[in-house]
Amino acid sequence: MSSREELLKRAREAQKNAYAPYSNFQVGAALLSAGGKVYTGSNVENSSYGLSICAERAAVFKAVNDGERDFALLAVVASGQGYVFPCGACLQVLAEFSPEMKLIITDEKDHYKEYALQDMLPQIFSLGKQEE
């Protein structure tokens, strides 16, 4: 994957597959592995909201299922206005594998900002030894 714009394009393509009949809030994500492979995901809602899945976690779970464990960059696009950020659950799932990774967040006009995951989730939960 040669550019952030290409990763955003893949996220927009994935967004078209979103299943969001309840919120009408379609999200797409494109996850770049450290090895250069791209995994996409879209949100899938369920009438029992707790059974829904975010686009970011859908992409991560596809990648992990393929044997990937190290990620470099995630692009997130959504149908809402303004910049749309991943939820805390998605940030925690990403941090499980790649706390050093970067995230690209967009608005409805495809302007984007880049953040370090550690800046978005500074106190990552881990079963390992915690700092005091």
pLDDT tens digits, residue range 21-60?
999 999 999 999 999 999 999 999 999 999 999 999 999 9
Question: Would residue 56 show up in a list of annotated catalytic residues for this protein?
Answer: yes
The residue-averaged pLDDT of 58-84 equals 96
Indicate the SS3 state at residue 98.
Answer: coil
| Residue 38, strand partner residues | 32
- Joined tokens for residue 125: 């939960």
Domains and CATH numbers, the chain: 4-120 (3.40.140.10)
Q: Which of 5, 6, 13, 56 is catalytic?
A: 56
pLDDT of residue 1: 45
**Annotated binding-site residue? 48:** yes
> To the nearest whole number, what is the mean pLDDT of the chain?
94
Q: Alpha carbon of 27 to those of 7, 59, 68, 69, 128: distances in Å?
A: 14, 11, 22, 23, 32
The residue-averaged pLDDT of 85-104 equals 96
**Annotated binding-site residue? 83:** no
**Annotated binding-site residue? 23:** no
The C-alpha atoms of residue 24 and residue 28 are separated, in whole angstroms, by 13
For the whole prediction, is pTM greater than 0.75?
yes
**Phi, psi torsion values for 30, nearest 5 degrees:** -130, 125
